[in-house]
Structure 1
Amino acid sequence: MKTLIKNVSVYHNHRFEPLELLLENGKISRMGDCQGEACDEVIDGEGKRVAPGFFDIHTHGAVGVDVNGADAEGFEKICRFFASQGTTSWLCSVLTDTEEHTMHAIRMYKEWKKLKHRGAELVGIHLEGPFLCPAYKGAMPEHLLKKPDMKLLKAYQEEAEGEVRYITVSPEVEGIVDFIPYIKSLGIQVAIGHSGAGYETARKAIRNGALGATHTGNAMKLLHQHFPAIWGAVLEDDDVYCEIICDGRHLHPGTVRFIIKIKGLNRVVAVTDSIMAAGLPDGSYKLGVNDVVVVDGDAKLASDGTRAGSTLTTGMALKNLLKFTGRSLAELIPMLTENPARLIGVYDRVGSIEPGKDADLVFLDEDCQVVRTLVKGKVCYTKDR
């Protein structure tokens, strides 16, 4: 199956260029002048901009499906909704839960892989916990938090057949910093967060291999001029990627600009941290074992009003980034594409538009609205005219 995409401006080398794309067997095979090729399908982009598909590495669900309780069809439902938002790759974030329910979520992920797909690709699992600090638990159920248990983590990874790709840990939890090299040896990238760790403890976690910071500035001890703490450590380090939730609630727009200015455009990852309420009206929902109430799009625990994830989508995150920063689309796209792919270690196949990579593409109109999404060369979403 060969598909020609013409009359588009393609995001390549961090800028938009008038290029044609030839797709073959789910991959990008050529870029440039491709109209001499015999093709099975031609897509006229009508002057739209084409960017790499978005990659959401931190999300707990959408459209009525909670990752912790999802079945295979539920995961597929999320995938199809995400494609309508420009997301072509994502990690399912399993909130701290019982061993039984965590194993169930992993098994349902494997069952999803057996389905015929028509949406975003679920490329692995993110474990948000359970090795987290109770004082900064956020929406994590405190009674399910644990001290480091590498036997349990290895069991999760074995059940996932090596596809737990990302984990959030708190550096101050006794022993976890010393286990980071082992965690990475299992093929799991490490982020630090849900933490009140001191600066030196956080720095040691980074030296031992932690490369991400989970929803930076949220559920995290903040910067003080005398005690930089974990936030100071992740902002200072040139290698750490900082997740940010750009819904206008988790971070003030000025804080978003501040983080980007300090970290640079190549070390910030826009995430949604969305829950099952994303794409749905206000109401009562679940986040793992928690009851959540959403009012005016703001998700909070029913028990104490603690903010509990978001109702954000990647498409809205991009629009908010444009509004909050005043930067160009070309500058901001890596936060939703290249940066998460590099952090998770899959940039060899997704995250940019290059020959040989998966044909995961999002078409944006003049208002940066998603109008078409392709996953592995297949059209998974087209906006109604």
Structure 2
Amino acid sequence: MEDLLIENGEVLVDGRFEKVNILVKNGKITSLARIDSDCKTCNVLNASDKKIVPGFIDIHTHGGYGVDVNNATTADLLKLSRFFAAQGTTGWLASIVTDTYEQTTWCIGQIRQAMEEANDGAQILGIHLEGPFLSSDYKGSMQGALLRKADSSLFDNYQKAAKGLIKYITVSPEVDGAPEFIKEVSGRGVIVSIGHSGADYDTARHCIRNGAASATHTFNAMSLLHHHSPGICGAVLEMDVFCEAICDGIHLHPGIIRLLLKTKGIDKVIAVTDSIMAAGMPDGLYNLGASSVKVTGGDAKLISDGTRAGSTLTTSVALRNLVDYTGRNLEEVIMLLTANPASLLRIDSHKGSVMVGKDADFVLLDEFLRIDTTVVGGRVVFENKTLIN
């Protein structure tokens, strides 16, 4: 791997932009300083007039660019990684919607193989299972007949097929056996998120005390806050967990995003896309796992009953939306796409910020916060010559 020198850019370091050069060796950041740019062994990337921020980490996405994770081959997943890199994503979890046992294990095998192959796009960081231990009353776009009570044996089979690559799972607190399941798998290092749920306040709190660390697409597919019955919303807003948020202006009103940030604090909200295969594509007919979806005006809904089914959001658009919706500066909102997901996934020792010793995962932004260049592990994987994203 050739060394890389990124010079003349404004780099986000410790929460503020500084005019420093970045030296990368063997995929790691080795220097942040006004070093001599005459590096004989380096590829040189001129970042004049660009802001350099950590690469985006999307912990909840079901696809994009015509690729549905549940039905994606290894080649499809690598194609998807290249698309994500063009949106500034440098790492992502492949999110599997609830499906049959056979399809889920096939999908796990494809993801595992993709993670083992050379990848010239965003890095696949692991697997997110969205179900099948979910409430039928808040199933969203899931197939109700495929939902199940919490089952450690089934999860163990999936994890064995994945060779330990399932990093994140969404569980409804009220399904049979959920509190015990959450305690067990979180104790093994799997990160549990609660969602697709109408759980009461006490049940949700019990699951959080048992190890649940996040809430899946907060406010969406869950019972809402009531002053006499706080429910799952009240529990996740009050307690020390991360809250996913889909910042597309469709799933959440901008005022709710501002309220969520004010309630939880800037370091406890994670921007996710929850994107489906229609992201980056025109309106039309698509799939989300076993379900058929129609996208109109960028809004994805099940053909069967009109239920909203994921999004067409990309991380690059999410960033610009966050700045627009909140009025906060880039230095603040970037955390929702970088440091916060890295912290939840417990990979913040090597990802999520620009620091010496960390992975060389960067995004170069132009003055309009569009993606100019994406670097993953010290390799340039995307350069936007037209700046149309």
Which TM-score applies when normalising by structure 1? 0.98
- SS of 2:142's partner is coil
Pick one of 140, 143, 153 that aligns with 2:142.
140
Is residue 235 from structure 1 mapped to residue 234 from structure 2 by the alignment?
A: no
Is residue 39 from structure 1 mapped to residue 41 from structure 2 by the alignment?
A: yes
Instruction: Report the counterpart of residue 110 of structure 1 in structure 2.
Output: 112
Work out the percentage of aligned pairs sharing the same amino acid: 52
Structure 2 letter corresponding to 1:66: D
Structure 2 letter corresponding to 1:183: V
Is residue 290 from structure 1 mapped to residue 291 from structure 2 by the alignment?
A: yes
- SS of 1:172's partner is coil
Is residue 214 from structure 1 mapped to residue 184 from structure 2 by the alignment?
A: no
Instruction: Report the counterpart of residue 194 of structure 2 in structure 1.
Output: 192
Q: Distance in 1 between matches of 2:125 and 2:264?
A: 26
Residue 151 of structure 2 contacts residue 177 of structure 2 at CA under 8 Å; is this kept in 1? no
- SS of 1:29's partner is strand
The 5 Å alignment of 1:60-139 reads 60-139=62-141
- SS of 1:299's partner is strand
CA shift, 1:363, in A, is 0.3
- SS of 1:92's partner is strand
Q: Deviations over 1:146-205 (max 9, x none)?
A: 011101101111111111000000001111112212111333100000000000110001
Instruction: Report the counterpart of residue 354 of structure 1 in structure 2.
Output: 355
Instruction: Report the counterpart of residue 24 of structure 2 in structure 1.
Output: 23
Unaligned runs of 5+ in 1: none
Residue 112 of structure 2 contacts residue 165 of structure 2 at CA under 8 Å; is this kept in 1? no
Instruction: Report the counterpart of residue 58 of structure 1 in structure 2.
Output: 60
- SS of 1:321's partner is helix
Structure 2 letter corresponding to 1:384: K
CA shift, 1:134, in A, is 0.4
The 5 Å alignment of 1:240-251 reads 240-251=241-252
- SS of 1:100's partner is helix
Q: Distance in 2 between matches of 1:303 and 1:215?
A: 22
Q: Distance in 1 between matches of 2:18 and 2:104?
A: 44
Q: Distance in 2 between matches of 1:225 and 1:79?
A: 43
Residue 157 of structure 1 contacts residue 186 of structure 1 at CA under 8 Å; is this kept in 2? no
- SS of 2:220's partner is coil
Pick one of 168, 171, 190 that aligns with 1:169.
171
Residue 83 of structure 1 contacts residue 381 of structure 1 at CA under 8 Å; is this kept in 2? yes
Structure 2 letter corresponding to 1:60: H
CA shift, 1:355, in A, is 1.2
Instruction: Report the counterpart of residue 325 of structure 2 in structure 1.
Output: 324
Structure 2 letter corresponding to 1:92: A
Q: Deviations over 1:354-375 (max 9, x none)?
A: 1111110000011100100000
Residue 154 of structure 1 contacts residue 186 of structure 1 at CA under 8 Å; is this kept in 2? no
Is residue 5 from structure 1 mapped to residue 17 from structure 2 by the alignment?
A: no
CA shift, 1:332, in A, is 0.3
Q: Distance in 2 between matches of 1:330 and 1:111?
A: 36
Is residue 279 from structure 1 mapped to residue 280 from structure 2 by the alignment?
A: yes
Q: Distance in 1 between matches of 2:366 and 2:42?
A: 25
- SS of 1:244's partner is strand
Residue 162 of structure 1 contacts residue 187 of structure 1 at CA under 8 Å; is this kept in 2? no
The 5 Å alignment of 1:305-320 reads 305-320=306-321
CA shift, 1:32, in A, is 1.1
CA shift, 1:63, in A, is 0.7
Q: Distance in 2 between matches of 1:349 and 1:160?
A: 23
Bigger mean CA offset, 345-354 vs 219-228: 345-354
CA shift, 1:94, in A, is 0.2
Q: Distance in 1 between matches of 2:226 and 2:113?
A: 47
Bigger mean CA offset, 69-78 vs 36-45: 36-45
Residue 151 of structure 2 contacts residue 181 of structure 2 at CA under 8 Å; is this kept in 1? no
CA shift, 1:222, in A, is 0.4
Structure 1 letter corresponding to 2:373: R
Structure 1 letter corresponding to 2:61: T
Residue 187 of structure 2 contacts residue 211 of structure 2 at CA under 8 Å; is this kept in 1? no
Q: Deviations over 1:55-84 (max 9, x none)?
A: 000000001110001000000011000000
Superposition RMSD in Å: 0.9
Instruction: Report the counterpart of residue 253 of structure 2 in structure 1.
Output: 252
Q: Distance in 2 between matches of 1:176 and 1:139?
A: 21
Number of aligned residue pairs:
384
Q: Distance in 2 between matches of 1:38 and 1:356?
A: 22
Residue 4 of structure 1 contacts residue 35 of structure 1 at CA under 8 Å; is this kept in 2? no
Instruction: Report the counterpart of residue 336 of structure 2 in structure 1.
Output: 335
Q: Deviations over 1:4-44 (max 9, x none)?
A: 11101111111111111000111111111222654321111
Q: Distance in 2 between matches of 1:323 and 1:287?
A: 29
Structure 1 letter corresponding to 2:318: A
- SS of 2:116's partner is coil
Residue 49 of structure 2 contacts residue 367 of structure 2 at CA under 8 Å; is this kept in 1? no
CA shift, 1:121, in A, is 0.3
Instruction: Report the counterpart of residue 151 of structure 2 in structure 1.
Output: 149
- SS of 2:182's partner is helix
Q: Distance in 2 between matches of 1:365 and 1:79?
A: 22
Q: Distance in 1 between matches of 2:345 and 2:117?
A: 24
Residue 67 of structure 1 contacts residue 94 of structure 1 at CA under 8 Å; is this kept in 2? yes
